[in-house]
Amino acid sequence: MNITWYGQSCFKITTQSKKKSRESVSLVVDPFSEKIGLKLPKMEADIVLITHSHDDHSNKDFFKKETFVIDSPGEYELRDIFIEGISSFHDKEKGKERGLNTIYTIETEEIRICHMGDFGQEELEDDQLKKIGEIDILMLPVGGVYTINGQEAKKIISQIEPRIVIPMHYKVPGLKIDLNELESFLKAMGEKKATSQEKLSLQKKNLPDGDMSIIPLIPQAKNA
């Protein structure tokens, strides 16, 4: 499995099906428009997940019409990938400020990923936690302003207890949206330094045992 981050909440996950052909399947979450100051490179996707309808998360027109788009809660099984969308709120006022947000769990290659979208609640509710279940890789916003900040993200991490955390939705060069920087989250987590990677490549057997790992990724989008 390969995971690439493009900035904001946009990730591309490239995985392999269980079939004998071991065909490659690509899934993209939250593609953004160039309005935010970043530009996605040319790429294709078999599946696109949209957590909510804001411009920095919902540029599904970037892909071909035949791309399968999921933009609402529910259970889905496509190309040996199991996906569940879980309803949540974009803010602390039960959606009154910014509306709804969909959390997605993605299971492939015996690895469970959780993408939090623009999660804004103070904490996860019991029914949300039950649906999320045990998670290997957690992608969550840490930049504050429109989502949870670094200190609030720490609480969500303690609720889920993933093996790996990939922070997202924070300030990066070229981004026009004013967010907190990664360092604020790392400080809240007691991490003096975390080595950033261009992409994350792993198999289930390579998942860390014991202490949780924070792995920031370098955004692969260019300035618009």
Return the higher-pLDDT residue of 54 and 1: 1
Is the entire prediction scored with pTM above 0.85?
A: yes
Task: List, for residues 147-197, the tens digit of each pLDDT value.
Answer: 999 999 999 999 999 999 999 999 999 999 999 999 999 999 999 778 899
pLDDT band with cut points at 50, 70 and 90 for residue 21: low
| C-alpha span between 125 and 43 (Å, rounded) | 36
pLDDT of 41 higher than 90: yes
Residue 198's alpha-carbon distances to 3, 195, 218, in angstroms, are 9, 10, 5
The pLDDT value given to residue 52:
87
Which residues span the domain enclosing 147?
2-223
Q: What CATH number is attached to the domain comprising 28?
A: 3.60.15.10
The number of distinct structural domains making up the chain is: 1
Residue 62 DSSP code: G
Task: List, for residues 68-112, the tens digit of each pLDDT value.
Answer: 999 999 999 998 999 999 999 988 888 788 889 999 999 999 999
